[in-house]
């Protein structure tokens, strides 16, 4: 395993982060335990979760993923070996079963306290806002279209709320997720101007099929020392190649949940075929090539890998040993020029 630190801290984190959003729905508690045991043995010390998980989010399974992690901490006493990240769910109809008061001080405090209880820990290392409260183009929406909305600018209020929570010791650091350039810079400027806690990381989708982060967000990440925690680096498993090779099963994620169509378009399929051809020409596994591409980007702090089987987790974790050659990278760029960001 290779390591870096959370930006502007001395907290060492693995360049691969264990994603957990299938635990409690596609994976049982026992399987979640097995994944955590294996990840830690491989040197993966960074785990990411959310109160929303498992996904798809439903009232009957709300926060079961956090409960599984908490049970594992209680069983193994491994809390001090893990850098733990979680998130407060963003607002909207999709999360109305969780709460309806957005990122108000009451909502954030409630979310933190309940996550701590479920996770059976006294602190969370990195606590994130799962998606913006305002109307903007996130979660697969390609373009921004301005709309009238009831939202009031509350960046300062959110940071003040976290200031108190951090001083209480319940959260060490904070980050954002599914955020855009404007929101990211607003948080950073509020922190600088008012001496408030700083958002250290941004957790956004990033893969061979979605490289939009390389625009304004990459410049912010590099110039402001703000790390990307890349999620969906395999595009819901599409970049394993299993769907185009007919190796998927009825339990594969896109077969179970057909509404997750972001990576299923004709252009995504064509791009994946071309990336598969590159991998095969260089005797590489497509999944490992796709993951290595993400991991070695200079703005990536950690690459969030998820799996529903142990064989998948093993293959994904082994990608840390792969360094892509200039020839492979050039071939990837040639595909990207022809089919840019088909899943964005």
Residues with a catalytic annotation lie at 53
Beta strands 12-14; 16-19: pairing state: unpaired
Task: Please name the residues in contact with 141: beta carbons below 8 A apart, sequence gap of 6 or more.
Answer: none
> 214 to each of 24, 39, 219, 302, 303, how far by Cα in Å?
33, 29, 8, 16, 15
**Whose CA is closest to 66, among 131, 133, 17, 111?**
111
Residues in the chain: 344
Distance CA 166, CA 209 (A): 36
Distance CA 8, CA 278 (A): 37
Q: At what angle do helices 286-295 and 310-317 cross, to 10 degrees?
A: 50
CB 235 within 8 A of CB 210: yes
Computed from CA positions of residues 241, 259, 101, 106, in that sequence, does the dihedral angle turn out positive or negative? negative
CB 342 within 8 A of CB 209: yes
Which residues pair with residue 18 across a beta bridge? Answer: 47, 305
**Whose CA is closest to 339, among 167, 202, 210?**
210
**What is residue 60's three-state secondary structure?**
helix
């Amino acid at each position: 395993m290779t390591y870096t630190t959370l930006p502007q801290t001395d907290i060492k984190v693995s360049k691969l982060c264990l994603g957990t959003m299938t635990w409690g729905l596609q994976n049982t508690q026992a399987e979640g335990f097995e994944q955590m045991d294996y990840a830690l043995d491989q040197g993966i010390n960074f785990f990411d979760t959310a109160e929303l998980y498992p996904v798809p989010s439903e009232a009957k399974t709300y926060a079961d993923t956090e409960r599984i992690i908490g049970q594992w901490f209680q069983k193994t006493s491994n809390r001090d070996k893990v850098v733990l990240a979680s998130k407060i769910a963003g607002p909207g109809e999709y999360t109305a079963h969780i709460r309806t008061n957005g990122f108000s001080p009451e909502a954030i405090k409630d979310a933190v306290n309940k996550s701590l209880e479920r996770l059976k820990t006294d602190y969370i290392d990195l606590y994130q806002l799962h998606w913006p409260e305002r109307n903007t183009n996130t979660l697969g929406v390609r373009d921004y279209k301005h709309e009238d909305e009831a939202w009031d600018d509350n960046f300062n209020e959110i940071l003040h709320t976290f200031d108190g929570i951090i001083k209480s010791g319940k959260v060490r650091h904070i980050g954002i997720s599914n955020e855009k350039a404007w929101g990211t810079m607003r948080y950073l400027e509020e922190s600088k101007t008012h001496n408030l806690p700083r958002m250290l990381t941004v957790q956004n989708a990033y893969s061979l099929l979605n490289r939009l982060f390389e625009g304004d967000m990459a410049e912010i990440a590099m110039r402001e020392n703000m790390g990307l925690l890349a999620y969906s680096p395999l595009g819901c498993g599409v970049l394993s190649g299993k769907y185009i090779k007919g190796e998927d099963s009825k339990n594969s994620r896109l077969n179970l949940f057909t509404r997750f169509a972001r990576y299923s378009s004709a252009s995504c399929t064509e791009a994946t075929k071309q990336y598969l051809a590159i991998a095969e020409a260089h005797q590489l596994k497509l999944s490992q090539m796709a993951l290595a591409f993400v991991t070695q980007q200079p703005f990536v702090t950690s690459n969030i890998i998820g799996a529903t089987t142990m064989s998948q987790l093993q293959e994904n974790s082994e990608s840390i040993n792969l360094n892509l050659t200039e020839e492979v990278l050039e071939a990837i760029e040639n595909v990207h020029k022809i089919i840019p960001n088909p899943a964005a």
